[in-house]
Structure formats: C-alpha cells, structure tokens
C-alpha cells in the first residue's frame, strides 16, 4: 500500500489556496504526514525587457522575498493556526521548476495544489503551473479546482 509520509502544498496566498486547504488537512490528518508548504516568487526572467538596472532589481527582489516571507507566516498562522511542525519554503525562480525541485528535496509522497490561482493572467499562469507539476512530478499530484469546491 502506498504511504504518504510527506505532503507538499504549493500556495499563492489567494482564496484558491484556502479552498484547497481542506484536502491538504485531510491527507495530513489521515496519514499523519509531514506538511511542507512552498511559495514561489517569479524570478527575474519574468521582468525581461524592463530597463531598470541591476541595483534596482536587486532591491526589488529583496522586497519581493521579504513580502513573500511575511505572507507565508500570515497564511500559516491564519489558515493552519497551531498546527506545529510545518516546514515552509519561499523560493524565487520558475514556479514549476522550484516546486518540482522542492518536492524532490523534501521527499514528497504527494503534492496537493489548486488548478487555478489568481484571476486573469495569473489564473492562466497558475493553471499552467498545475499542468507542469502534474507532468513533471516524480510522485502523485492531487489537483483541486478551487472554483468547484465549497
């Protein structure tokens, strides 16, 4: 029988992530799995064509990472409360690549993620993230359409 000892939950801090959370909690509770939560800040390649200079981008990058760290703390506190022992990671780069790399690093037995994130362009992008993770993951992936659940 398959065991789920390590569970990975990629988040984007939107309402969509909150709607996927009950499925994450279900697997975590049912299997007593160690929960890993990752948020990926899109890297410099997303800003190609902006002529702002390296110093500006370095400052901007630091602000993005600091903001993401704070958002992660807030998300975990508000949504998972006193659930101790959660491993968290904030990374910068290609979203799919970073999720897949962290899944290998933490030894994920299951990845649970939403099929869509933010609205508009982000919704399309996150949909492609889910597709990329499903295609590239070396473990099972449970995708949840946040617009079809409670």
Question: If you ran DSSP here, which 8-state letter would residue 33 be given?
Answer: P
The mean-pLDDT minimum among 6-10, 50-54, 102-106 falls in 50-54
| Domain 6-144: assigned CATH number | 3.40.50.620
Condensed to tens digits (0 to 9), the pLDDT of residues 34-48 reads 999 999 998 765 555
Global confidence as pTM = 0.86
CA distances from residue 17 to 8, 110, 131 in whole angstroms, order as listed? 13, 16, 16
Q: Give the model's confidence band at 61: pLDDT under 50 very low, under 70 low, under 90 confident, else very high.
A: confident
**Distance between CA atoms of 4 and 86, rounded to whole angstroms?**
15
Q: Please report, for the chain, the start and end positions of each structural domain, with discontinuous segments joined by +.
A: 6-144
**Distance between CA atoms of 64 and 27, rounded to whole angstroms?**
31
Residue 83 confidence (pLDDT)? 61
Read off the pLDDT of each residue in 53-73 and give the average, rounded to a whole number.
82
Q: Torsions phi, psi of 13, nearest 5?
A: 70, 15
Condensed to tens digits (0 to 9), the pLDDT of residues 13-41 reads 988 899 999 999 999 999 999 999 999 99
Count CB neighbours of 29 within 10 A: 10
Condensed to tens digits (0 to 9), the pLDDT of residues 109-142 reads 999 998 876 554 455 455 688 899 999 999 999 9
């Amino acid at each position: 029988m398959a065991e789920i000892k390590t569970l990975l939950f990629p988040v984007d801090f939107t309402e969509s992530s909150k709607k996927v959370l009950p499925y994450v909690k279900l697997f975590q509770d049912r299997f007593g799995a160690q929960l890993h939560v990752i948020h990926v800040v899109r890297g410099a390649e997303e800003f190609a064509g902006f002529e702002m200079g390296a110093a500006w981008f370095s400052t901007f990058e630091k602000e993005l990472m600091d903001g993401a760290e704070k958002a992660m703390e807030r998300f975990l506190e508000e949504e998972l409360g006193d659930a101790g022992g959660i491993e968290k990671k904030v990374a910068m780069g290609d979203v799919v690549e970073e999720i897949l790399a962290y899944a290998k690093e933490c030894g994920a037995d299951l990845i649970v993620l939403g099929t869509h994130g933010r609205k508009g362009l982000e919704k399309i992008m996150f949909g492609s993230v889910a597709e990329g993770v499903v295609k590239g993951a070396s473990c099972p992936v449970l995708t949840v359409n946040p617009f079809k659940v409670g």
